[in-house]
Amino acid sequence: MARLLCDLRGRHVLDPAYGSGLCTRVAGRAGAEHVVGSDISPEMVGMAERSEQAEPLGIEYLVADAAELPAPGTFDAVAANRLLNAAKP
């Protein structure tokens, strides 16, 4: 996944519907200045927050439906790896 990402150093990244937060954390490790991840599942957010506690990267996690995500700021990139898996037809 890291090889597929553009240069994220100093960038602001949004990752909606991130699941366990794996790709969100890849963006954080890739040097993104600010990363926000959202997921509709409180359990997935809890899992991601535990990962953040174990390895702090400064990632902000939100419990939110990607279709109704409040505008949490301005972003240079959106990493929506799991977004379409949960999309309704």
**The CATH number of the domain where 47 resides is what?**
3.40.50.150
Name the DSSP class of 38: E
Domain range enclosing 32: 9-68+76-82
pLDDT at residue 5, as a whole number = 65
3-state helix, strand, coil in the chain (%, to 5): 35, 20, 45
What pTM value is reported for the model?
0.82
| Residue 28 is assigned to a structural domain of this protein | yes
- Kindly report which listed range (4-13, 53-62, 77-86) carries the lowest average pLDDT score: 77-86
Q: What percent of the chain has pLDDT over 90?
A: 46
Question: What would the pLDDT profile of 54-69 be if each residue is shown by its tens digit?
Answer: 999 999 999 998 888 7
pLDDT band with cut points at 50, 70 and 90 for residue 49: very high
- How many domains, in total, are found in the chain? 1
| Residue 58 is assigned to a structural domain of this protein | yes
